[in-house]
Amino acid sequence: MPDCASTAFIPSATSGRHPGNSALRLLFLLAALVAAAPASAQTPVRVWHVLSGPSRTALETMATAFNTANPDYAIKPVAMTQSSTVMSRIDEETRRAKPEYPPLVIVSESASGDIGAPGGLAYPVSSLLTDMAEPYDPDAFMPAVRASYSDRNGALLAIPFLLTTPVLYVDAKSVQAAGFDPVKDLKTWSGFEAVAAKLSAAGGGSCAAAMQAPSWIAVENLLAMHDRPFASFDNGRGGDARIAADVDFLSRHLTRLVDMARGGALRPRTAGVEPVAAFIGRACPMLLGTSGLLAHVRARAPFEVAVLPLPFLDDVTNPPKPSLPGGFAVWALRGRPPAEIKGAAKFAAFLATPEAQAWLAREIRSIPSTFEGWKRTQADGIVNAEPGLAVAASELAGQLPTAASKSPRLQGKAEIDGFFDAAFDFAFQGLKQPRPALVDAVQRSDMLLRQRREGDR
C-alpha cells in the first residue's frame, strides 16, 4: 500500500502551474519506450472524450508525445460536450452499414454502466492489452481501482485518466481559531457536525460547510465506506439489478444534513451559490468535494487549506472501507480494424506506465491508479508539491473492497444520480421529508432500470 498521509495542509498559490520542460521531456522519453517499429503507413486512432480545461490539454500533450515516438500511429483526440453525447454517437454509428465510432473513448464515471454493459461494444482493457501483446499486470492496480473498474469476472474494463475521490477541504485557520484540531475533530460525521455548528454560531448563523454532488458523496460513498451496497447483483454487475440502498441508513444521514442546513451550518446547492465558489470565496470554511479540485483550490484559495479524508460514521468499529474512485476513464471499443486496435492498445499501455501516471498527477492532480505510478509520483516530488494527493490516495488504498464497497455499474447511472440529487434538494427545501424523498429516488431508479432491461430484450 502507498505510504499516504492522513491529512495535508496546502498553502495558497500566487501563480498558476505550468508544465515544466523537464516534465515534457520525460513524457516524450516515456513515449519512446513504447515506440513501434520503423514507420510504415500511419494509422489514425481517434479518441472521443469529454475532457475540458487542463485535463483536455493533458490528453492532447500525451497524444503528441506518443505520436512523436510512434510514427505508425496518430492518436487524434476529438472533444465532445458530455458523456451522453458520446454514448448517443456510438449508438448512432452502430446502426450504420459502416460504423465509424473510434477505438477509444474517455467518459465520466457516471457513464460506465452504459458503456460497460454486458454484451456491448466495450473491449475490456485487460483483454485488449493481453490480445495485443502489450504489458498488463492486474496486481499493478490499487485494489479499489481494480475492483471498481472490473466486471464480475475480474476483467479490467477501463483505465482511469483523471482519477478522483471525495475529500474534505477546510480553511485550516478558521477551524483552529474555533478551538478544533482539523485532523482529530473532523474524522467522523458527528465531529464534522460539531465543528460546523460552532463555526456557524461564531458567524451569527453563517454557512460553515458546502457540499458537491450529494448522490456521489452522501449516498454512494457513504454506503460504500460503510460496506453497504447501492444495488443488487454485485452492485449492478450482473443479473436484473435493482437499487438495494439501505433507505433507513441514508435517511438518518440526510436528516442530519437537513438539520444542519436549517440551522445555517450547511449550505445546500439549492441555496444559489456554487459550493466551490462559496469555499474559495470564504463564505463557507469547509467543502465536501472531489479531489479533482486540488489544483483549482490550490491556485485560487487565498488561505491555508487542509485536505482531509471524507468523514465516516461514529458507529463504525473498523476503519472504513475505501472511498469510491471517480473522474474519467479510458474505454476501448470492439469492432475496429486491427491496426486501430493495436494503436489503441499501445496508447492504453502508455497511459498505464508509472511515468505517465506520475505526469498526470503533476499536471491535473490525478490520483495514480497503480502502485508503481504512486511510487514514481512520490519520487518525482509531486506529493511534496501537492500533499492532498496522499490523502486522496490513502482513501483508495485502505481496506480491501468488498462486493458492496465498489462503484455501482448501472445503465442510466447519470439519470439515477439525478434522482438522488433531487431527493436531497427536495429535503433541503422542505418539500419532502428525507425518507419519502429517498424512497421516491429508489422507485424512480428501479423503474428506469426496468425500462432499460426491457429495451435491451
We report the CATH number of the domain holding residue 428 as 3.40.190.10
Please check the confidence at residue 13 and state whether its pLDDT lies above 80: no
Give the whole-number percent of the chain exceeding pLDDT 90.
79
Please check the confidence at residue 4 and state whether its pLDDT lies above 60: no
How confident is the prediction for the chain on average, in pLDDT?
89
CA angle in degrees (0–180, nearest 5) for 417-390-55: 55
Q: Cell for 425? A: 434538494
Mean pLDDT, residues 7-36 taken together:
50
* Residue-wise pLDDT tens digits, 228-264: 999 999 999 988 899 999 999 999 999 999 999 999 9
CB-based contact 145:369 (threshold 8 Å):
yes
Residue 390 lies in a domain: no
Stronger pLDDT, 119 or 42, i.e. the higher one:
42
User: Which pLDDT score is estimated for 315?
Assistant: 77
Q: Do residue 423 and residue 300 come from a single domain?
A: yes
User: Which pLDDT score is estimated for 8?
Assistant: 58
Mean pLDDT, residues 132-136 taken together:
95
Q: How far is CA 83 from CA 86, 89, 210, 412, 445, in A?
A: 5, 10, 26, 12, 19
The SS3 of residue 286 is strand
- Binned at pLDDT 50, 70 and 90, residue 156 comes out as very high
Please check the confidence at residue 14 and state whether its pLDDT lies above 50: no
Mean pLDDT, residues 79-98 taken together:
93
Mean pLDDT, residues 174-193 taken together:
94
The SS3 of residue 443 is helix
Q: Do residue 154 and residue 198 come from a single domain?
A: no
Please check the confidence at residue 382 and state whether its pLDDT lies above 70: yes
Please check the confidence at residue 33 and state whether its pLDDT lies above 50: yes
Q: Do residue 176 and residue 75 come from a single domain?
A: no
User: Which pLDDT score is estimated for 2?
Assistant: 42
Please check the confidence at residue 37 and state whether its pLDDT lies above 70: no
Q: Do residue 230 and residue 303 come from a single domain?
A: yes
Q: Do residue 317 and residue 449 come from a single domain?
A: yes
Q: How far apart are CA 51 and CA 293, in angstroms?
A: 14
The SS3 of residue 78 is strand
Residue 288 lies in a domain: yes
Residue 26 lies in a domain: no
- Binned at pLDDT 50, 70 and 90, residue 146 comes out as very high
Mean pLDDT, residues 310-317 taken together:
84
Stronger pLDDT, 21 or 224, i.e. the higher one:
224
Please check the confidence at residue 38 and state whether its pLDDT lies above 90: no
**For residue 82, which amino acid is it?**
Q
Q: Do residue 188 and residue 138 come from a single domain?
A: no
Rg from Cα positions in the chain? 22
Q: Do residue 71 and residue 159 come from a single domain?
A: yes
Mean pLDDT, residues 212-231 taken together:
95
User: Which pLDDT score is estimated for 79?
Assistant: 97
Domain's final residue, options 379, 413, 447:
379
C-alpha closest to that of 209 among 284, 280, 274, 301:
284
Residue 384 lies in a domain: no
The tally of CA atoms less than 13 A away on the side-chain side of residue 403 is: 11
Mean pLDDT, residues 255-275 taken together:
87
Q: How many domains does the chain have?
A: 2
Mean pLDDT, residues 370-389 taken together:
94
**For residue 339, which amino acid is it?**
A
The parent domain of residue 156 ranges over 34-164+325-379
Q: Do residue 412 and residue 434 come from a single domain?
A: yes
Please check the confidence at residue 9 and state whether its pLDDT lies above 50: no
Q: How far is CA 263 from CA 197, 208, 211, 314, in A?
A: 8, 10, 16, 22
The SS3 of residue 162 is strand
Q: Do residue 262 and residue 290 come from a single domain?
A: yes
Q: What is the pTM of this model?
A: 0.90
